[in-house]
Structure 1
Amino acid sequence: MAGASTMLIALAAFFWGISGGIAGILLDSGWDPAVVSFYRGFVGLLFALVWLLFQRSHSGLNSRQLWFWSVVAGLGVAGNFTFYFLSIEYGNVAVAATLMYCAPVFVYLVSFALKLERPTAAKWLAIALVMVGVVLLTKLYAIGASDLSLMGVGTGLLAGLSYALFIFGFKYAAPHGSPSAVLTIAFTVLAIALLLPADIPQVISVINAPELPLFVVLGILGAGLSFLLYVVGIKHAAPALASMVAMVEPVTATLFGVAVLSESLGIIQMVGMGIILITVTALSLSSR
């Protein structure tokens, strides 16, 4: 069971990495990030609803705490999708995916503030190393001379912060109901939150657009199937192992960006990416 769970998590992370590349193609085609995020979440909602129909017992939908924390999770994933795609638009897939992978750092900082995690010198050092990695990866020391922008860097970090919000929301909602109920509420909140500011004519035009298959694949791989695989896999996988396997996502996104979108990373950027991935994984391993 542990081996199968690891494979499920790896597959989910692989799908998330591919979805970042697909989003890059759609953004290059002129689609608004909010529209791309909406369809990713909407397809995820359809999957969650079907899953909920098969798990109607013990759903916990009558729990106020389930609804509250699921709404928090929904706002987190809405911000994560949108800021991630904005970071891709203003930067590139590799940098956006790696910055989003900094989410555990934000989880630690919030945990320190709420006294859920005990700060140590080693953890502060790890956080400092991540920041050094961010500077190297994004070339903040020469932002004006690079192909990145402060907007791309900022939205990438906000994607990580939003993902941390989703982690907390899902963590506190899970004890009060089924994962399918949590995801259904979260994706419903996402759909509403992203539809309101979106360009409605562009949202409607997707139905007849030649890129419709890409939107469908993005939703299936980036939200529907991947979240289902991850939630099922994480039940029987050790957290430390799951953290290491999750590195598949930024690596896949980077390879997709290089192979399909003709993106490139310099040696210094690759060193920065390595520092971030290794340090964040070490942080996750040491977490309670």
Structure 2
Amino acid sequence: MRGASPALVALAAFFWGLSGGIGGMLMAAGWDAFVVAFYRGVIGLLFILVWLSLRRHDNGLRSHRLWFWSTVAGLGAAGNFAFYFLSIEHGSVAVAATLMYCAPLYVYLASFALRLEKPNALKWTAIAVVILGMGLLTEVHDIGANGITPIGIGAGLLAGLCYALFIFGFKYAAPHGSPQAILSIAFLVLACALIWPADRAQTLAVLSTPDWPLFAALGVLGAGLSFVVYIYGLRKTSPALASMVAMIEPVTASLFGLLLLDESLVWHQGLGMGLILVTVTALSVYSSDGRPLSRHSVFTSRHRH
């Protein structure tokens, strides 16, 4: 059913949005941001390994290039998860999710620097609008307002940069193996990278905590089931439509923070968020011919298992 594919993409974006809110709840309960990020990746890894075991043919695991670029993707994912939750811890879910949603902007800037993409007036205008939106959203004129700190802003920006690194890594790994294999390696690298900064006592305490259902939901929705339904959903969903549907992620995360975590946004922050979401989505739709990298073109670049 063709109509079901965009719905699956929307469902994945909804799950990713929920994961930000769930992470916020766990950190509000006292859990370390790195511990939250670690378990999101580890539980997601277990889910992806099951998927890989069901799709063992043509996985490319013997390719050295697959392992190299999947490792790059894994380091990007590790930074993305960790900085995203740090941004939530030192700011808010809404700000963190929106700043991370700016990842396509960072991909554009990197593409300009590497001469992979030719800049033009439209793209520079879009970038300027996003920067204006960032200023309004993060209240750079009044740092500390509404609980937003420099650490929260910096971590949110780094989360977007790391997500861009994940996109690049996945892009170049895709010709050499299946999405399941790439994600399995990437999440394994993520787990190895995040176990070191995570609080050791809390890492062990998760195994017997009453909060384990939240950790399980975070991993399944934020890194396991979400990727499966997303990749299947992209089979018959155009990149342009997927780019627009992806806006559900930061909107869901923001609403979660506002409604369940008692966060707040003043009018100019809402305006800034709107400028960012609309402009980044427009950039993604504009690039749907595959020239610049985007999450939607990356996951469908070779395999459609």
- Give the alignment's TM-score, normalised by structure 1: 0.98
**Residue 234 of structure 1: CA displacement?**
2.1
Q: In structure 2, how many angstroms separate the alpha carbons of the residues matched to 1:179 and 1:55? A: 10
Counterparts of 1:208-223 in structure 2, within 5 Å, are: 208-223=208-223
Q: In structure 1, how many angstroms separate the alpha carbons of the residues matched to 2:61 and 2:285? A: 33
2:269 is the alignment partner of 1:269? yes
**Residue 250 of structure 1: CA displacement?**
0.6
Q: In structure 1, how many angstroms separate the alpha carbons of the residues matched to 2:82 and 2:18? A: 16
Q: Deviations over 1:157-189 (max 9, x none)?
A: 100111111111111111111110000000000
Q: In structure 2, how many angstroms separate the alpha carbons of the residues matched to 1:236 and 1:72? A: 28
Q: In structure 2, how many angstroms separate the alpha carbons of the residues matched to 1:206 and 1:144? A: 32
Q: Residue 13 of structure 1 aligns with which residue?
A: 13
Q: Residue 115 of structure 1 aligns with which residue?
A: 115
Q: Residue 51 of structure 1 aligns with which residue?
A: 51
Number of matched pairs: 288
Mark the runs of 5 or more structure 1 residues left unpaired by the alignment.
none
Counterparts of 1:1-288 in structure 2, within 5 Å, are: 1-287=1-287, 288=291
Q: In structure 2, how many angstroms separate the alpha carbons of the residues matched to 1:220 and 1:124? A: 38
Q: In structure 2, how many angstroms separate the alpha carbons of the residues matched to 1:199 and 1:110? A: 33
Q: In structure 1, how many angstroms separate the alpha carbons of the residues matched to 2:86 and 2:141? A: 22
Question: Would the alpha carbon gap of residues 57 and 250 (structure 1) be closer, same or farther in structure 2, given more than 3 Å must change?
Answer: same
**Percent of matched pairs sharing the same residue:** 65
Q: In structure 1, how many angstroms separate the alpha carbons of the residues matched to 2:175 and 2:94? A: 35
1:139, 1:146 within 8 Å by CA — same for their partners in 2? no
1:70, 1:170 within 8 Å by CA — same for their partners in 2? yes
Q: In structure 2, how many angstroms separate the alpha carbons of the residues matched to 1:39 and 1:25? A: 14
Structure 1 vs Structure 2 CA RMSD:
1.0
Extract structure 1 runs of 4+ deviating beyond 6 A.
Answer: none
**Residue 112 of structure 1: CA displacement?**
1.2
Question: Would the alpha carbon gap of residues 145 and 94 (structure 1) be closer, same or farther in structure 2, given more than 3 Å must change?
Answer: closer
Q: In structure 1, how many angstroms separate the alpha carbons of the residues matched to 2:145 and 2:106? A: 28
Letter in 1 for 2:132: V
Q: In structure 2, how many angstroms separate the alpha carbons of the residues matched to 1:233 and 1:157? A: 28
Mark the runs of 5 or more structure 2 residues left unpaired by the alignment.
292-305
Q: In structure 2, how many angstroms separate the alpha carbons of the residues matched to 1:183 and 1:106? A: 22
**Residue 236 of structure 1: CA displacement?**
2.6
- Give the alignment's TM-score, normalised by structure 2: 0.92
Q: Deviations over 1:233-276 (max 9, x none)?
A: 22332111111000000110111111110111110000000000
Q: Residue 296 of structure 2 aligns with which residue?
A: none
